[in-house]
Chain A
């Protein structure tokens, strides 16, 4: 049957899991705010504002995970600094919210945020100009991470810095930004960051209705982010990206300008991360340099790895799962959480190369077709079986197989 309808329909028709995900997200974005606002407290249908904010946070994380999966899962770029783009988007939003406080701050200065008055600054630094306008802040939410990603990516990809080298210098990037934003002289609130926000577009941030609207916006942003990413990976460009992931050298020799493809997808991913950050900040009410910490960026990777690298809906599932586990365990057994997280890293890389969404396929392969090991499946699973079965010569074999495929 020929597929009819617009590009959106076409996009979703071929993607059953994605369709279900988008449906679920749409339902969630409507139902949760509805239940929060309409049903009174005490009703079994009531969703508390706390829960809604928490879920909103997860949605932002999920968008961030989609952004990371887009470059890691489909282009093989393991960025250990994506938290930096998230934080930059967050800071852009935070600056708008700071300006919105106006003269309601502790020092009642209509122009300067409190921390600047505290530092005895007399006028607004140039880079704070314009942030009293919402549209300008929104442009910066995209532009700040985008420009950084463009400059950094252009330098890195043109020089063919790839693989672990890229991972390490992205980590250095976010570390350098962490140190920079900790400084008071930077004019971003130093150690404390930006906080004490009052309202957004004139709506009080403490109001349930504002919270609900933010939750809805996060849901919509996640759906849009998913669709954009899906559109990219299913397009011809996306095919080239996968080719680059699987063998960069081969793609280059086939005549593709590998660095431009990498740069494009890197910038898009950074912008998505920025949007996630911008939606995150008004919901949690603070942005500080801690968001730049390298460990945050690495945690994003584990969301994607747990969910299933190379499947965008898996990234969403992974982000929600891991963060739910984090919320639960840091509350219930704070001691255990880091053991859990560390264990997750080790176990997923060893036993779940395709994440939880690949678990089903992995099981099927193992139990349904035991007679033909590795006949139809992907190479990663094949290695997995070999690793478990062979003892002494695995190293040689393993390396050789993977070398032939190009490193993953």
Chain B
């Protein structure tokens, strides 16, 4: 002990003298000088002092430590708390030990040691740990970064034993962010529940009422149980009321969540059905190969990603026009090669295009193998955003919803605002008349079919982000797409939107109490019955045109 002591710097020696031998150093002047110095002690100095202090002596040092304003203070306290703070015996260098990796604490450079005996842990006991935890919590809830404060407050929800109500109230007073102060108020509420004072307990219940944090729910239900056991009926009733409020909000939450999932499913259906709304709705062609156009779009995404593996996000952007072109060209080829010979014979068209779908499936299977292909998702599509503590929505669904609406809007624009759209509508309404006005009806047919197929290709890009990309993926969407178009009303984009969204939402709302498969069956049965009632769909074209299809 003496030998170690002699190596200390003069000032340190004095400090330690104060701590270790308080009885020996009673001189008031010296005490005063140490006290003033203590306020300006640096982290390094406290660390050095900790090496020699025994457990009892460490307490005031830790107190010191927690009041130092330094960027490393928090890390120091946490390392100490976790028992990862070591020092090298040879030169008293402070180290952090993470598994077997040693680092110098301040410089964070890796350090090599000859044997395990060359280093020694700076140990703490439970009393010190409590002290450290409280200090850390305090430091965190008063931290300058809002994110740190929020995480700290949320972790206090789990256990707030380390901190007292007064500190919390002080923090709430200083708090600028309403989000953090809301959580801190909940922590106060949770602490008040433990109180012996009736008034305080009820204040606590009041504070907790309606909160969506699972910790709060847990604490409240424990509280109710304890109250019932302890005969505090009034408190139990109040808490039950608060609990009910929470349950109501949770129910609303799940409705919102289902609605969101439903809209996302609706968006997928919409994407799959929009192309069909053109080929089937506008041209009256039953294209059973529509699903395969979607599949081609998805495979195009895959190929583009293979070509530029380092730019996943970029490849997705490029894949959209690429898929449109690929599927569109295949669509034009199909129209010119087969469908134009079959206009006016819808059942034959159905069979021929079904044959084409088989050929395309087998072609993809032969080229890319029958196994599913992996299409990567860019980072900006992953992740969630939270609406409230019990409800987090995923970004990819949001993007799909927005994307599907964009595609729909673009298509509406093409139909209503461009020359091609005008010609397309003219040919649909009255073919001979359009032809005699100089419109090349054959070309318009081909381009219309190409447009519908190209949009199916774009849908494939979006679907590649959600489901497996394989030769059979188109099959999964063909029946659903037809259902959407028929349900919404043939030849009506607005109907397609409403049809897709309502089918998606109904499906997801039925799912929780019926199960996914039964929900799907119910929706199919519903559509089958619905078509009996309104054979032309929700938004039927009226007049002569309706009879032509």
Contact = CB atoms under 8 A, between A and B. Distances in A.
Contacts of B344: 398-399, 401-403, 407
Contact of B486 (A168, A175, A396): A168
Contact of A165 (B351, B358, B363, B486): B486
B347 A78 contact: yes
Contacts of A403: 344, 548
Contacts of A250: none
Interface stretch (B57-65, B335-343, B393-401, B412-420): B335-343
A402 B345 contact: yes
A91 B132 CA distance: 71
Contact of A302 (B347, B351, B431, B527): B351
18 contacts: A159-B532, A165-B535, A169-B531, A172-B479, A173-B524, A176-B521, A179-B520, A183-B517, A183-B518, A339-B359, A341-B358, A345-B352, A345-B355, A349-B355, A395-B431, A398-B344, A399-B343, A402-B343
Interface in B460-518: 475, 479, 482-483, 486, 517-518
A163 B286 CA distance: 11
A407 B362 contact: no
Contacts of B164: none
Contacts of A346: 338, 352, 355-356, 359
A349 B517 contact: no
A161 B343 contact: no
Contacts of B475: 295
Nearest to B440: A392
Interface in B523-549: 524-525, 527-529, 531-533, 535, 548
Interface in A142-165: 152, 155-156, 158-161, 163-165
A168 B366 CA distance: 29
A392 B435 CA distance: 10
Nearest to B483: A172
Interface of A is mostly: helix
B366 A167 contact: no
Contacts of A152: 528
Contacts of B321: none
Contact of B524 (A155, A159, A172, A339): A172
A179 B441 contact: no
A298 B435 contact: no
B346 interface: yes
A40 interface: no
Report which residue of B345, B475, B520 has the largest number of chain A beta carbons within 10 angstroms of its beta carbon: B345
B304 to A, nearest CB: 26
Contacts of B445: 395
B361 interface: yes
A297 to B, nearest CB: 11
B244 interface: no
B432 interface: yes
Contact of A176 (B363, B524, B535): B524
B354 interface: yes
Contacts of A115: none
Given A349-B348, A350-B338, A408-B347, A298 B354 contact: yes
A56 interface: no
